[in-house]
Amino acid sequence: MTKQTKIILGILIGLILSILALMTYFLTLLKEKKLFEELKEQEKLQQYHVDGLPKWTERTETKEGMSNTSTSPYNTAENFMTKIFSSYSGSEIVVSMNFPAPTITKVKILGLREFDRIGIEGLPNMSKAGEPLLPLKGIEVLLPYNKDISEIEVSYPKERVLEGTYTIEPAQSGYPIGLGGKSNPPKKEVYDQETYIPQKLFSEKSTQMFRGYKILPLNLYPVRYIPKFGKLYFYPQISIKILFKPKLFIESYSSYRGLLEDEEKVKKEVINPEVIKTYPNPSKSSL
């Protein structure tokens, strides 16, 4: 190999190394740019969450009727976690729940348009596929020993009408799109409704027995929606009153064992453990 050839080869190797260095540099810049854009998107999302705390018109029931005041949830002290209060008087159980203010964000559903998503911290959103996806709180109420429910009443001191109009996202089926599932569009017959969804602030399920204790599952709905007009209504406090009547005969609690270990497990399941005292005293021993 001549001296001239070595010089040319050295220059070519230098050029190749320079090109590789430049390619590495540009790839690094592209990665940094992508990371920067992702961070900006996250920042926008966080900002939107702050902006997503909507203002409302508050309706408070008074002796003269309903009075209206305006405020903003972002500036109040009511953005706490969900709180539960319960009491039992012998003839009734009262359960009151306080809910933190909701947030609203924009979401894009694959193959569909952009929708509004409303959420409350700590609560799941559930609904049937194609129907408005709204928050709910499921609770389990321990019923007193040997008494029947005569009536269930619901009340709320305030109703807050969120400012603006919204198109709440439709619930999706659990079948993954990648496995052949499809996006569920809004059901026209539901989104054309001019009445509250859900109609009531609570729904009840069938009474259940757990280790001999009678339990009533309830769902509470702190947000309601009128789809036709795009209006959202938030209830910062919901109270449920369950009224009882005595049984004419002693009911058989065949699965009740009177064990302390059963009592402790029931206390962890229900929101009103004070009602356990209405059941026969548990045995000091356990299985």
Mean pLDDT of 219-234: 97
Mean pLDDT of 201-214: 93
Residues sharing a CB contact under 8 Å with residue 262, sequence separation 6 or more, in sequence order = 211, 212, 213, 282
- Mean pLDDT is highest, among 34-38, 154-158, 250-254, for 154-158
Amino acid found at 153:
E
What is the model's pLDDT at position 42?
Answer: 42
pLDDT digit string (tens) for 126-185?
999 999 999 999 999 999 998 999 999 999 999 999 999 999 999 998 755 555 557 899
CA distances to 19, 21, 37, 192 from 25, in Å: 10, 6, 18, 56
Instruction: Specify the pairing of strand 158-162 against strand 114-119.
Output: unpaired
Prediction pTM value: 0.72
End-to-end CA distance of the chain: 93
What is the model's pLDDT at position 278?
Answer: 92
The residue whose two tokens read 């299985």 is: 287
What six digits make up the tokens of 31? Answer: 């990665």
Q: What is the 3-state secondary structure (H, E, C) of the chain?
A: CCHHHHHHHHHHHHHHHHHHHHHHHHHHHHHHHHHHHHHHHHHHHHHHHHHCCCCEEEEEEECCEEEEEEECHHHCCCCCCCEEEEEECCCEEEEEEECCCCEEEEEECCCCCEEEEEECCCCCEECCECCECEECEEEEEECCCCEEEEEEEEECCEEEEECCCCCECEECCCCCHHHCCCCCCCCHHHHCCCCCECCCCEEECCCEEECCEEEEEEEECCEEEECCCCEEEECCEEEEEEEEEECCCCCCCCCCCCEHHHHHHHHHHCCCHHHHHHCCCCECCCC
Asked whether the beta carbons of 152 and 243 are under 8 A apart, the reply is: yes
